[in-house]
């Protein structure tokens, strides 16, 4: 398994191009199953998770061609409506093929994704939404077996709490349903509006995406389209936080600061100077430690759970005490003991972590536990004195495109050790 060696203590200077958003790309890729015409995605990130979903889509009959950042998908015929355990287990977003397969073919058998390191992550809301649209759903030996022989119909679905995946899943399925669907208490993450834009370009009739109520008027068929994947707000925020921890000045291009929601004022309050540019933002850290701040993770536009780990790494050397409350996932502090190995002073009590800033972190061997936790270790490694060796970097490859290359160009000493 590959490792990453980082020699820390060097400020970052330069420009980083931000890739297309993983969490948008995975959903618009699933949308390709809704039409027999080609769907072309530009600004598509080349990531392990994207490759994993391509393998699954190929099984369902989609041809794929990746050329630079352009991904062309064509599911002329659906070859199989079954998504096996092996491919869904490794990546939860694979579960989102269920709705499109059901909407197009009237049936699908998709493995339940199971839990994962950051929490149990059930899919009950996904299944309730599809049931409300007329699907008959049975669970059989770890598989969801769904059928709607006469097609799905529109429904009024009020989510009891906000779920990104269930909102997207319901939206995907409702595009080809008979009649209108209303989603209430829908997730408002920018990736939802991006998926709606892609589906509308394919001929869907979706209004209100990005707000709490989404209305979808079903259509007979969808057609091919070209869609540009929106920039990755988590990658944007993570590199901004790397500047907060290691110092320096970075221009983050091909992105939009407004995608950061509540994380933007938090970065500024912590002591980063942020200048909004037409094509991104410039982030600068004046000498001296960051200010400690309290945050609570919330659905968008609140502080994103996917930046919580990186924020903790930045707070590890801040001046003062920071309280970080995680409200989305029940087990998302696995980076805390790893950061502690580097000298961070963190105590975790239930869903709240208290970080007492120390003047400096020290490099150490650490273990990446999930995608965003891994990035928090990279940020800590960039700021720390001496060498940090990060084990299990495959987690990083799932969601951060060309990480070493992007950081090396900005002066970081970071090297992949192949094993
Ligand atoms: C998406 O996961 C993202 N993944 C996550 O990013 C992100 O952390 C999360 O949204 C929140 O922003 C992708 O887009 C591929 P949810 P998702 O449904 O859709 C519970 C990353 O690092 N829930 O909004 O799975 C669930 O357990 C990943 O890139 C149910 O109880 O998140 C969680 O506690 C990690 N039943 C909460 O809701 C359901 O049916 C929110 O989950 C669905 C969800």
Q: Whose CA is nearest to atom 43 of ligand 1?
A: 123
Alpha carbon distance 198, 228 (integer Å): 8
Alpha carbon distance 351, 112 (integer Å): 27
Residues 6+ apart with CB under 8 A from 95: 83, 88, 110, 111, 112, 113, 123, 126, 165, 169
How far does residue 156's CA lie from ligand 1's centre (Å)?
22
Atom of ligand 1 nearest to the CA of 49: 15
Q: Whose CA is nearest to atom 14 of ligand 1?
A: 23
Q: Whose CA is nearest to atom 16 of ligand 1?
A: 163
Q: Do domains 3-18+231-417 and 22-228 have the same CATH topology?
A: yes
Which alpha helices (H) appear in 190-259, and where do they start and end?
190-201, 233-246
Atom of ligand 1 nearest to the CA of 124: 40
To test ligand 1's pocket by mutation, which of 95, 160, 165, 237 has the most ligand atoms within 8 angstroms of CB?
Answer: 165
| Residue 377 contacts residue 339 (beta carbons within 8 Å) | yes
Q: Ligand 1 pocket, 163 CB below 6 A?
A: yes
Q: Whose CA is nearest to atom 8 of ligand 1?
A: 306
Tens of pLDDT along the chain (419 residues) come to 899 999 999 999 999 999 999 999 999 999 999 999 999 999 999 999 999 999 999 999 999 999 999 999 999 999 999 999 999 988 999 999 999 999 999 999 999 996 677 777 899 999 999 999 999 999 999 999 999 999 999 999 999 999 999 999 999 999 999 999 999 999 999 999 999 999 999 999 999 999 999 999 999 999 999 999 999 999 999 999 999 999 999 999 999 999 999 999 999 999 999 999 999 999 999 889 999 999 999 999 999 999 999 999 999 999 999 999 999 999 999 999 999 999 999 999 999 999 999 999 999 999 988 999 999 999 999 999 999 999 988 889 999 999 999 999 999 999 999 98
Size (the chain), residues:
419
- The correct CATH number of 3-18+231-417 out of 3.30.499.10, 3.40.30.10, 3.65.10.10, 3.30.70.580 is 3.65.10.10
* Class of CATH domain 22-228: alpha beta
Q: Ligand 1 pocket, 26 CB below 6 A?
A: yes
Atom of ligand 1 nearest to the CA of 125: 40
* Residue 254 per-residue DSSP state: S
Query: Domain boundaries in the chain?
Result: 3-18+231-417, 22-228
Distances (CA, A) of 340 to 121, 336, 357, 385, 415: 27, 6, 11, 14, 23
Verify whether residue 410 is a known catalytic residue.
no
């Amino acid at each position: 398994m590959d490792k990453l060696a980082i020699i820390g203590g060097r400020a970052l200077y330069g420009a980083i191009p931000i890739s297309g958003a993983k969490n948008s790309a995975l959903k618009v890729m699933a949308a390709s199953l809704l039409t027999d015409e080609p769907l072309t995605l530009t600004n598509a990130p080349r990531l392990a998770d994207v490759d994993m979903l391509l393998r699954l889509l190929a099984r369902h009959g989609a041809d794929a061609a990746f050329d630079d950042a352009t991904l062309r998908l064509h599911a002329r015929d659906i070859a199989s409506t079954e998504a096996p355990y092996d491919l869904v287990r490794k990546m939860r977003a694979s579960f989102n093929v269920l709705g499109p397969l059901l909407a197009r073919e009237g049936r699908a058998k998709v493995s339940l994704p199971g839990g994962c390191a950051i929490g149990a992550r059930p899919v009950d809301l996904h299944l309730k939404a599809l049931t409300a649209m007329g699907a008959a759903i049975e669970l059989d030996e770890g598989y969801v077996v769904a059928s709607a022989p006469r097609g799905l119909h529109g429904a009024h679905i009020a989510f009891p709490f906000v779920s990104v995946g269930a909102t997207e899943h319901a939206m995907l399925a409702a595009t080809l349903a008979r009649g209108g669907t209303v989603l209430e208490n829908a997730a408002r993450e920018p990736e939802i509006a991006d998926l709606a834009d892609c589906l509308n370009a394919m001929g869907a009739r979706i209004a209100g995406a990005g707000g709490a109520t989404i209305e979808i008027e079903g259509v007979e068929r969808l057609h091919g389209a070209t869609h540009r994947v929106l920039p990755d707000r988590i990658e944007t925020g993570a590199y901004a936080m790397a500047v907060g921890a290691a110092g320096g000045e970075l221009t983050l291009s091909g992105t939009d600061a407004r995608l950061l929601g509540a994380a933007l004022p938090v970065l500024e309050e912590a002591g980063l100077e942020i200048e909004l540019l037409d094509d991104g933002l410039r982030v600068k850290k004046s000498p001296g430690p960051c200010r400690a701040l309290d945050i609570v993770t919330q659905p968008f536009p609140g502080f994103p759970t996917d930046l919580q780990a990186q924020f903790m790494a930045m707070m590890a050397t801040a001046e003062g005490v920071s309280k970080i409350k995680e409200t989305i996932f029940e087990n998302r502090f696995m980076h805390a003991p790893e950061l502690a190995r580097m000298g961070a002073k963190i105590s975790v009590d239930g869903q709240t972590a208290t970080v007492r800033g120390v003047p400096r972190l020290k490099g150490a061997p650490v273990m990446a536990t999930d995608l965003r936790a891994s990035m928090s270790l990279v940020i800590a490694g960039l700021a720390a004195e001496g060498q940090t060796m990060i084990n299990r970097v495959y987690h990083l490859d799932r969601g951060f495109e060309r990480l070493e290359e992007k950081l090396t160009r900005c002066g970081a000493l970071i090297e992949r050790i192949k094993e």
